Amino acid sequence: MLIIDNAAALEAVADPNLRLILARYADMIDLATIYVIVGPADTQAALEQQRGRPLADWEFITAHPGGWYEIVVVTDDWGAGDVILIPDRAGTDSALLNLCRDHGECADDSMG
């Protein structure tokens, strides 16, 4: 799991499809922690353990072109939260993919 919680980590991401999504958070990195699911060991249970809370009460799930899902969870009344990015590919945790596929809405064209 890749955790992005500062500008340097945000800039280090190489995947162009992922960078399109992350560009929206460049000015909000102090309000959000971004968790990127990168491998088979990154399960929903591992994500929940890393975040210190269950994956519940999400605001929205978006399916982006390029094979990425974005889950946004607001964690306090001031607007801070977590962004969870999940690749739609073989080897990704099935519980996370099922959640995204069941509840994800297609992204609009405004991202790129």
pLDDT at 108: 80
Q: Spell out the long-range contacts of 9-16 with Cβ–Cβ below 8 A and sequence spacing 24 or more.
A: 10/34, 16/66
* Neighbour count for residue 56 (Cβ, 10 Å): 7
What pLDDT score was predicted for residue 39? 87
- pLDDT value of position 74: 93
pLDDT of 92 reads 96
Q: Report the Cα 108 to chain-centroid distance in Å.
A: 17
Q: pLDDT at position 17, please?
A: 92
Q: Which of 22, 54, 75 is nearest to 6 (CA)?
A: 22
| Tens-digit pLDDT string for the chain (112 aa) | 999 999 999 999 999 999 999 999 999 898 899 999 988 899 999 999 999 999 989 999 999 999 999 999 999 988 889 999 999 999 999 999 999 999 999 988 454 4
SS3 72: strand
CB–CB of 2/36 below 8 Å?
A: yes
pTM of the model: 0.90
